[in-house]
Amino acid sequence: MRDPKFSILKALAIMLVVLSHAGISGWLFNFVFIFHVPAFFLCAGYFFNTRYLTDERTFLLHRAKKLYVPFLKWSVAFLLLHNVFFWCGLLSESYGNAQGGVMHPYTLHQMGQHLWSIVFNMSGYDQFLGGAFWFFRALLLASIGFLLLFKLLRRSPRFQTDKQAGWGLLIIGLLLTTWKVADGITVTGVAQGGYRELMGMTLMAAGFLLRQYRVAELLSWRWAAPAGAVLLLASFFFPSAMAWNPSFTQFISLPVPAVAGFIVLLYAAYWLDRLGGFVKQGLVYIGEHTLHIFAFHLLAFKLVSAIKVQALGLPWEAVGSHPVVHEDASNVLWILLYLLVGVGLPLLWLEAYKRITPHISINQDQAIDFALMVGQKVIRGLFIVGRALFRLAVETWKAFVQGIKDILAASSTKDE
């Protein structure tokens, strides 16, 4: 069983992710963005098991099941509902993000293009309601790159211990990311150019190294206090984030403060774990369901936006503002309400789903019979349509041939 401190750490990190989208600004905005998403990559590296170096299939299947499959089904669901969201006002062509960008309903061709990008490139997702979905792709590709690079390093006698391999992974990750940012390289085939994936792989290496140096076991205020100081200084003087197109300064300003933020979160999780009770239980539950909050907190925000629109007397179309209604954006009460609903509502949906599905579940034989029935009907329908098209083609050909005969008969010189 995983240490509950890390579930609490992930809960704190996902709450900061939701907070970062809830309308905060200024110093707090810079502070949160430095380490809230990097914490998840550091966790992934921290818990990487070296047995996967000889069992790649299990690792890849596990990652695909936990990242690609949820991304696929949730992205496709949002795609199918995209125009419905415009019809009910959750998206708007008049109200958009703070920079004035808006979205539009999709044509059938555009939906097909988005579907293709979702399936084969893990892009094409809804940029407003699914704006955090880049995380699924970045963590999946970073994990695959981390595994492959680790296996390559193991072939060298210089990287036979886990610490040696960890340092090798970190240095290579930093060098590759530096090359990408400094020279403006685009990682071919990776949406948004690949910076997040390379930085994610680098942060995984840092997390793996923290495990080798037993940071969780040795953590005390002597580690947490300097880490907190580094994080504060960075938020004031070198703010950064895992944006897809950072400047070189933003890139070099991220890794060290991100690790510092991870240490601060782990120290906070240590004390919250000791409190026990419902606080610990609630945070552990949140930490075990972070992907659902990642996926649905921006959609959940629309409930608060609807309330805010009514309270401020704004037109209903303003609900489509992204990610929050921008009027009175710095109001602390609205920010806290967005935070509460953004975390709580996706978990309520999840619990409702868990309670409902057992009552409508079908066994394997029923599923097979249903699939066979649907298949038979589809085949029968295709046969009927095909037969009709064949008959139409035959009749069209007969009419064409008869028309040619009539023309030749009319132009014949025998009658003359």
Task: Please give the pLDDT value at position 377.
Answer: 61
Task: Please give the pLDDT value at position 67.
Answer: 97
DSSP 1: -
The tokens of 355 are what?
């309670």
DSSP 107: P
Expressed as residue numbers, the domain containing 191 is 4-360
Residues 8 and 110 in one domain: yes
Give the distance from CA 163 to its chain's centroid: 30
Task: Please give the pLDDT value at position 119.
Answer: 97
387 or 117, which is more confident: 117
Report d(CA 215, CA 177) in Å as an integer. Answer: 25
User: Is residue 204, in this structure, part of any structural domain at all?
Assistant: yes
Domain boundary among 335, 360, 385: 360
User: Is residue 91, in this structure, part of any structural domain at all?
Assistant: yes
Q: Judge whether 78 and 126 are in contact, CB under 8 Å.
A: yes
The mean pLDDT of 355-381, rounded to a whole number, is 63
Which of 178, 174, 222 lies closest to 202 in space, CA to CA?
A: 174
Task: Please give the pLDDT value at position 19.
Answer: 96
Residues 391 and 301 in one domain: no
The residue assigned the tokens 């963590």 is 139
User: Is residue 20, in this structure, part of any structural domain at all?
Assistant: yes
Report d(CA 304, CA 132) in Å as an integer. Answer: 19
Residues 252 and 389 in one domain: no
The residue assigned the tokens 């064409």 is 400
Domain boundary among 314, 329, 360: 360
What distance separates the 2 farthest-apart alpha carbons in the chain? 115
Residues 280 and 375 in one domain: no
Q: What is the pLDDT of residues 24-79, one digit of tens each?
A: 999 999 999 999 999 999 999 999 999 999 999 999 999 999 999 999 999 999 99
Mean pLDDT of the chain: 90
Residues 259 and 118 in one domain: yes
User: Is residue 112, in this structure, part of any structural domain at all?
Assistant: yes
pLDDT reading at 376 higher than 80: no
User: Is residue 130, in this structure, part of any structural domain at all?
Assistant: yes
**Segment among 88-97, 250-259, 383-392 with least mean pLDDT:** 383-392
**Predicted confidence band at 145 (pLDDT cuts at 50, 70, 90)?**
very high
Residues 292 and 335 in one domain: yes
The mean pLDDT of 265-272, rounded to a whole number, is 96
Residues 355 and 378 in one domain: no
pLDDT reading at 412 higher than 60: no
Q: Judge whether 347 and 293 are in contact, CB under 8 Å.
A: yes
Report d(CA 221, CA 20) in Å as an integer. Answer: 26
DSSP codes joined into one string, 50-79: GGGGS-HHHHHHHHIIIIIHHHHHHHHHHH
User: Is residue 215, in this structure, part of any structural domain at all?
Assistant: yes
Q: What is the pLDDT of residues 320-363, one digit of tens each?
A: 999 999 988 778 999 999 999 999 999 999 998 888 877 666 66
Secondary structure (3-state) at 391:
helix
Q: Judge whether 91 and 171 are in contact, CB under 8 Å.
A: no
Quick count: other Cβ atoms within 10 Å of Cβ 129? 25
pLDDT reading at 385 higher than 90: no
Residues 393 and 295 in one domain: no
Of all helices (H) and strands (E), which one includes residue 121? Answer: helix 108-121
User: Is residue 366, in this structure, part of any structural domain at all?
Assistant: no
How many domains is the chain partitioned into structurally? Answer: 2
pLDDT reading at 5 higher than 90: yes
Report d(CA 200, CA 206) in Å as an integer. Answer: 10
